[in-house]
Structure 1
Amino acid sequence: MYLLDHPAVLFAVTCIVLLLAHEFGYRLRALAAHRDDRDWQKEVRETRGQIAVLLSLLLGFAMAMGLSRFDERKKLVADEANAIATAYQRAAMQAEPVRSRAPSLLHDYLKARIAIFSLARGNGEQQSAMEQSRAIQQALWSDAVAVAQQNQTPIVALYAQSLNMLFDVDGERVEATLNRIPVDIWLLLGFLAALTSLVVGYGQRHRSWFATFIPVLMVAISISLIADLDTPASGFIQINQHSLQSLRAELQLLPGDAQAH
């Protein structure tokens, strides 16, 4: 959904919807027959408090889901950097064609991986980087198979194992990117937020811009923050690719790398 991928737009839309719900509740109060009755006012306050508690619990639940997914994506960046570094080191111990081809391929693979997760989804450059990543994986595996057919040794097996780890992390990162907070939770969250704002307006005896805007801003900021944590590429809070970028810089400083690149 467009709104969930753009937290700033979601914040603006949430504020507008909640303010409209509040205004509707305030105008609806004028139709109440017992609006000046104290018992009626007490019932409205109790109802408002119950809905607000439920909204708070759901916001906390959604925040926990967003944080866990964010932490998992961040951890996988370091895991992928370690997997690439391991494959690079073990490639130097292999026979040809792995020993000469793998370092260059892994450099290109590292560059492609940084591009994939640094660009917004649907970007043409991201799609090109993904295709390049798949092609490099096939080339690395084909070379490893050729070496294994010539001489099956523990060193070759270790290199094949490092490539398997590399490919597994790729799948895990893709899965983590697609693993978003379910839409059903967002719909329930939006419904409860609008209902809370409506009841707040319904229980307001006199207009108070402070009492109107503060709750709206608090809920809108919370919802936008959760969406930002759950948005892998297009939000304000981004997954830092520092581990991969540092590895790329380190590999470029290795002896003989200048000649290869």
Structure 2
Amino acid sequence: MAENPLHELPTALIALMLVCALLLALFASNALGRRTATRQPKQLELGPLETMASGLLGLLLAFNFSIAQSRFDARQEMLVREADAIGTAYLRCSVLAEDDRRSCREKFRQYVALRIETYAVYKSGARNTDELRRKLDEGEHLQHQLWTIVAGAVRQSPDPPHTALMTALNSVIDLDSDRRASLRIQVPIIVSVVIALSCIAWAVLLGYSSGLNGSGSRTAWVVVSVLISLVFGVAMDFDRPRSGFITTSAAEVAMTNVANSINMPPVD
């Protein structure tokens, strides 16, 4: 799966690197500004430019955070819908003949167990691994087996209950495809780089302007740098819903609940 290369790095490390870069930019540019002020006392007023840069940076961070959070919420909602669709399809297996019903339900149990195992692989951060590809291939194989069973039953008896089962199974397959696609769609690396560079450029401007005026609170700089890095890091974490600190736990709970319900003795 192609993804933002920054996602290979831990979120905490990315935030720490940005904090260090911001503080370095602030202190270095402040020292340069103070040195310039001693040599050339009369300098341009950078206050309006500093205010504009601060507003633009805030807008960029807010926009990036909002987009990442909305996509995270959409992914989680889709995963919960997938769990619901699996539960519905499993219940509708009761319309099948006894042999097909037993086989179909067993395939669904295997499929749900496999989905939970796939969650564990994602949460370990082991993307693009042979294990992950094997889990995904097994899932597609089980989907094909389920479709073969249901399609055969519909051909023999194309009545509403059987077609309803096929519709439910089709929803399961479609939602799985949507889930995989959503994991591939991430914030492009260029966006992350532009925002990070904007943060550093803002720090340079703030530090230099403060140096010209002979002002600047180091404590405030540290606090602001940490806050900016936290916002940037959390936005990136939203974009890695399986392996980050913020995971789609509600979806995993929903799938676990489905696993518990379908492993109960069936009532036909």
TM-score, with structure 1 as normaliser: 0.89
Which aligned pairs between 1:58-207 and structure 2 lie closer than 5 A? 58-95=60-97, 97-118=99-120, 119=122, 120=125, 121-204=127-210, 205-206=214-215
Unaligned runs of 5+ in 2: none
Partners of 1:115 and 1:126 within 8 A in 2: no
Partners of 2:22 and 2:225 within 8 A in 1: yes
Distance change >3 Å, CA 47–CA 93, structure 1 → 2: same
Residue among 4, 10, 14 paired with 2:14: 10
Partners of 1:65 and 1:181 within 8 A in 2: no
CA offsets 1:135-167 (integer angstroms, 9 cap, x no match): 100100111122223222222211111111011
CA offsets 1:227-254 (integer angstroms, 9 cap, x no match): 1111122210011111101111122223
Partner of 1:31: 36
CA offsets 1:163-212 (integer angstroms, 9 cap, x no match): 11011100111122122123232122112100011111112225642032
1:242 maps to a residue whose letter is V
Identity %, equivalent residues: 23
CA distance in 2, matches of 1:222, 1:243: 29
Unaligned runs of 5+ in 1: 257-261
Distance change >3 Å, CA 84–CA 133, structure 1 → 2: same
2:67 maps to a residue whose letter is M
Partner of 2:262: 251
CA distance in 1, matches of 2:255, 2:208: 53
Residue among 228, 253, 258 paired with 1:242: 253
CA distance in 2, matches of 1:209, 1:32: 19
Partners of 2:5 and 2:189 within 8 A in 1: no
Query: Do residues 227 (structure 1) and 231 (structure 2) align?
Result: no
TM-score, with structure 2 as normaliser: 0.87
Return the offset for 1:103.
0.7
Partners of 1:78 and 1:243 within 8 A in 2: yes
Distance change >3 Å, CA 35–CA 11, structure 1 → 2: farther
Partners of 2:6 and 2:189 within 8 A in 1: no
Figure out how many residues of one structure are paired with residues of the other and give that number.
253
